[in-house]
Chains A and B, each alone.
Chain A
Amino acid sequence: MQDAEATTEPTIPTPGAVLWGKILRHKGILFGGGIVAVMVIVAVLAPLIAPYDPYAQSLISRLQPPVWLDGGSWQHPLGTDHLGRDYLSRLMHGARISLIIGACTAAISGVLGTTLGVVAGYFGGRVDTAITFLVTVKLSIPTILVALAVVQLVGGSLTVVVLVLGFLLWHQFAIVARAVTLQIRDMDYITAARMIGCSRARILLTEVMPNLMNQIIVVLTLTMASAIVIEAALSFLGVGVKPPLPSWGIMIAEGRTHIFFDPWLVMIPGAALFALVLSINLLGDGLRDVTAPQGRN
């Protein structure tokens, strides 16, 4: 047997290298990813780099404006709130809350939704009918109202909010995972794996899942963004995480009473929330662009 194709062949990069190349050339990903990365670093290092204790009250220096307004000083670059707590430190610690809620919710709903979607897509038949019905039911439930009711009943805390949102935001994962699995299921490499004698679990984990990851990561980022927004909304309404935790939603709620005289109390956490959600969505949209299939190769 001659070495069939041994002559000078163009070196084709691996799928991973191709993907990285596209990611590094995508402006949306670089911009969104950059901001998200900065926010994550700040959140992780918040206890070390925050200038003050976010809970330390000081009634003498309450409602100090940020540095760019009259009367502001570098002592409190973003000013202080109505209890005299350093706003920058609270914002940094608030990023922790937002990101923890976003990440944990996305993780829980991701595992739940992807599992349901893959199972529905792979096995089809009655299983699929049942799970699709479940998704339909889920889609007709108003997320915010249910979250409000449950948190109201059980009492708000970080864990409760994460769990409630985790169980409310899985449908997107299920829909995407099911659709992609339906395509993968009919691929010959799945038939080949079955003929080799692979167990169902092995086929799902090693043959189906890796081909699903690109799409799931996209849904993951988008779910994270909506979880962060919903948490802020719940906290604003007073049924999310409880004060004195420095959630951005709580900060907006507390600043609300001062909105006419000190609007920056609302605008600063609002801007932070906007920037984080926007950049996560940019990242998600960008990832969808670069992982979109284009032809066979």
Chain B
Amino acid sequence: MADAPFVSVSGLDIDLEVPGGRLHAVRDSSFDIALGETLCIVGESGSGKSMTALGLMGLLPSNAHRSARRLRVGNHDLLSLNRREMADLMGREMAMIFQEPMTSLNPCYTVGNQMSEMLIRHLRMGRRPALTLARDWLDRVGIPPTAGRLDQYPHQLSGGLRQRVMIAMMLMCSPKLIIADEPTTALDVTIQAQILHLLAGLQRELGITMIFITHDLGVVSRIADRVAVMYAGQIVEMGRTREILRDPQHPYTRGLLECVPAPGKTRPGAHLGTIPGTVPSLVGQLSGCGFAGRCPHAAVGCRGEIPALTVRADGRQVRCLFTPDALWSAA
């Protein structure tokens, strides 16, 4: 790991005020990302993966409270920025790509209009050069300039094209960090592969740091340098992608990998692995490990207090008392 990480998050807590009390959507999340690195945050619905991203961007709903010990992106301390400075930073330094581009594209304006508006606002460009640059960027994301897409409205584009437009729009102002929240989940598989290709290619080319949020372990395996697995609002395991997928230490990561039908590994028609039980309620305090209720190896010690993240020599972090490694060294 580089000496000064580009993104540094420490002790991020996000609570939501809900009718039943305080819902701890994210608990004590800490991670660092080096410049140009891709971190995948993977987890199931309700794991807090999207909340982490929204919390970092300061885009939380009004009933949410955010607190953290450190929240740095580049030279900016996000905790000390006010709303205006944050808005200024977004689009220029950090950008976010959502699952459904329709929510971030305005249906009333043409693609060209919205793209050039972005450049005019953030980079103070003139209208004409802005439109030229927009056309270049569309070409760059695989939309040929001949097709007249600049004059089309978002609803006239297919889902894949919309996501391409979105990517172009987000990358135009050359941000240093992009947060992509399930950008390919709503797309067809062929389009998904194309979009991932595009995104990963541009990221490498421009040296952008990326946080990629997904529930799909397949996508994780192909684009992430490192992975953070989230469960019930906590990071339960984090490390290099290859090592996590090859040698998962946390029982939840292991369970998750066994659930996915994978050619060659799972026999067609045979039983897939399952994780019985449900996610514990996130309202109120957790008693012990959040996964204890569903864990095949849970013991008395797991119900006491929340296990701490232990850091191995190779940088792997695991929030579990009884990892295979721990058992191995105890024996």
Binding site for B on A (CB under 8 A): 2, 4-10
Closest 4 CB pairs of A and B: A7-B277, A10-B281, A7-B293, A5-B278
- 17 pairs, A vs B, C-beta closer than 8 Å: A4-B274, A4-B276, A4-B277, A5-B276, A5-B277, A5-B278, A6-B276, A6-B277, A7-B276, A7-B277, A7-B278, A7-B293, A8-B280, A8-B293, A9-B278, A10-B281, A10-B283
Known A2-B276, A5-B276, A5-B277; 17 more pairs at CB < 8 Å = A2-B274, A4-B274, A4-B276, A4-B277, A5-B278, A6-B276, A6-B277, A7-B276, A7-B277, A7-B278, A7-B293, A7-B294, A8-B280, A8-B293, A9-B278, A10-B281, A10-B283
Task: Give CA–CA (A5, B277) in the complex, Å.
Answer: 4
Total residue contacts A-B, CB cutoff 8 A: 20
In whole angstroms, what is the CA distance A5 to B293 when docked? 10
* Interfacial chain B residues near A6, Cβ < 8 Å: 276-277
Q: Which of B288-312 contact A (CB under 8 A)?
A: 293-294
**What is the bound-complex CA distance between A8 and B293, given in angstroms?**
8
* A-side contacts of B274, CB under 8 Å: 2, 4
A-contacting residues of B (Cβ < 8 Å)?
A: 274, 276-278, 280-281, 283, 293-294
Q: How far apart are the CA atoms of A4 and B274 in the complex, in Å?
A: 9
| Complex CA distance for A4 and B278, rounded to whole angstroms | 8
In the complex, A5→B278 CA distance in Å?
6
Q: Which residues of B contact A10 (CB under 8 A)?
A: 281, 283
What are the residues of chain A within 8 A of B280 when measuring CB–CB? 8
Q: In the bound complex, what is the Cα–Cα distance between A9 and B278 (angstroms)?
A: 7
A5 to B281, CA, bound (A): 13
Residue of A nearest to B294 (CB): A7
Shortest CB distance A2–B (Å): 6
Which residues from A are CB-within-8-Å of B293?
Answer: 7-8
Q: How far is the CA of A242 from the CA of B283 in the complex (A)?
A: 62
Give the interface SS of chain B, mostly helix, strand, loop or mixed. Answer: loop
Closest residue on chain B to residue A8 by CB atoms:
B293
Cα-based distance from A53 to B95 in the complex (angstroms): 78
Provide the bound-state CA to CA distance between A136 and B272, in Å: 58
**Which chain A residue lies CB-closest to B284?**
A10
Residues of B within 8 A of A9 (CB): 278
Inter-chain contacts of B276 with A (CB < 8 A): 2, 4-7
Q: How far is the CA of A8 from the CA of B274 in the complex (A)?
A: 18
Q: In the complex, what residues of B have CB within 8 A of residue A4's CB?
A: 274, 276-277
A9 vs B274: C-alpha distance when bound (angstroms):
18
Least CB separation from B275: chain A residue:
A4
Q: What B residues does A7 contact at CB under 8 A?
A: 276-278, 293-294
Among residues of A, the one whose C-beta sits closest to the C-beta of B20 is A10
User: Which single residue of chain B is at the shortest CB-CB distance from A2?
Assistant: B276
A36 to B283, CA, bound (A): 39
| Min distance, Cβ A9 to any Cβ of chain B, angstroms | 6
Q: Which residues of B contact A5 (CB under 8 A)?
A: 276-278
Point out the residues of chain A lying under 8 angstroms from B277, CB to CB: 4-7
- A234 and B274 CA atoms in complex are apart in Å by 70
CA distance A10 to B284 in the complex (A): 12
Residues of A within 8 A of B278 (CB): 5, 7, 9
Q: In the assembled complex, how far is the CB of residue B259 from the closest CB belonging to chain A, in whole angstroms?
A: 13
Q: For residue B19, which residue of chain A has the nearest CB? A: A21
Q: Min CB distance, B322 to chain A, in Å?
A: 19
Bound Cα distance from A108 to B281, whole angstroms:
47
CA distance A10 to B282 in the complex (A): 10
Contact residues in A for B294 (Cβ distance below 8 Å): 7
Query: Smallest distance from the beta carbon of A26 to chain B beta carbons, Å?
Result: 14
- Minimal Cβ-Cβ distance residue in A for B278: A5
Shortest CB–CB separation between residue B150 and chain A, in angstroms? Answer: 35
**For B281, what are the chain A residues with a Cβ–Cβ distance below 8 Å?**
10
Q: How far is the CB of A108 from chain B (nearest CB, A)?
A: 39
Query: How many angstroms between the C-alpha atoms of A7 and B277 in the bound complex?
Result: 6
CA distance A8 to B286 in the complex (A): 13
For the complex, what is the distance from the CA of A7 to the CA of B293, rounded to whole Å?
Answer: 7
Measured in the bound complex, the distance between the Cα atoms of B293 and A282 in whole Å is 47
Give the complex CA separation of A29 and B287 in angstroms. 40
